[in-house]
Structure 1
């Protein structure tokens, strides 16, 4: 009888071991499928699984390029004519560009740029400077002026002229 008891316990241990191995395999499979599903859902693609490599190359080419800014420290101050009266305009500016070479060129040619910008500001109408549309127009004219100066010097163009402070009185 002792032999019968030993033979009955051995198959029960073998069945439990098989059950544990199958549970571990199912858990590992669930984890792998979860990771693969997450990567697919997030659009990361899976290398070597037939992912579209052409789209990844195009996305890398269209990467985000942050803008850099250079403030013009001294204010542009000039007189503006308004119905026979003399008014004053004071403007603090900053230049924006995605190419750092354009900003370094603007700093190099800053005396010429300031001179041209003062003339643009002085030729503006006082009533136009009081409206948001007039200020946007002034910013566009200033951008055109700055880019013309940089083009004459053979330098890259800036992206935008920004007002840091704008006072008319």
Structure 2
């Protein structure tokens, strides 16, 4: 019986070596498969060769920033020989925060220009959506003109938060 036990012990040791060798071969095959897939998909392995640059053709999203003109613009508007009132709460939109900072610095001049523009508008046009859109575009041109005179970046839009004519 003793002879039987010694003969079986080396067989277990041989099986253990075979299992370890098989696991190493499987891990090596999986690793080579992953490396081959990455090479075919990317053209090279990560960390090898030149660093990949992000695509410049894809535009990056830049969120807008806003600033409010704190006090509403209030002025009289002429309508068929009568005086009417207009009150407009305005916000400015820009992608560049420097443009909004510049608008805050030059706010007295911008407010003056916007009040003059609003006062010179036609009352019947201010009652229509198209007239309000045209007024917003004129206000945008006026604000950007003031900022351009001061050598500052331009804003993108003038937004109405509240618009009242009576």
> Structure 1-normalised TM-score?
0.74
Distance 1:36 1:167 in 2: 68
Q: Are 2:17 and 1:48 equivalent residues in the alignment?
A: no
- In 2 relative to 1, CA 61–8 (structure 1 residues): closer, same or farther, beyond 3 Å? same
Q: Are 2:123 and 1:145 equivalent residues in the alignment?
A: no
Gaps of at least 5 residues in structure 1 are none
- In 2 relative to 1, CA 11–94 (structure 1 residues): closer, same or farther, beyond 3 Å? same
Larger Rg: 1 or 2? 2
Comparing 114-123 and 5-14, the one that deviates more: 5-14
CA-to-aligned-CA distance 1:130-164 (integer Å, 9 cap, x gap):
33322222111101000001111121111211112
State the match for 1:89 in structure 2. Answer: 86
Gaps of at least 5 residues in structure 2 are none
The answer as to whether partners of 2:35 and 2:45 remain within 8 angstroms in 1 is: no
State the match for 1:14 in structure 2. Answer: 14
> Structure 2-normalised TM-score?
0.75
CA-to-aligned-CA distance 1:58-92 (integer Å, 9 cap, x gap):
44995433322211101001122333333221111
Q: Are 2:158 and 1:161 equivalent residues in the alignment?
A: yes
Distance 1:154 1:25 in 2: 69
SS at structure 1 position matched to 2:102: helix
Aligned length: 164
RMSD (CA atoms): 3.5
State the match for 2:111 in structure 1. Answer: 114
What is the CA distance between 1:32 and its match in structure 2? 9.1
CA-to-aligned-CA distance 1:20-57 (integer Å, 9 cap, x gap):
5644764687589779979x98x9x963357883xx34
Distance 1:116 1:131 in 2: 22
State the match for 1:66 in structure 2. Answer: 63
Distance 1:114 1:140 in 2: 15
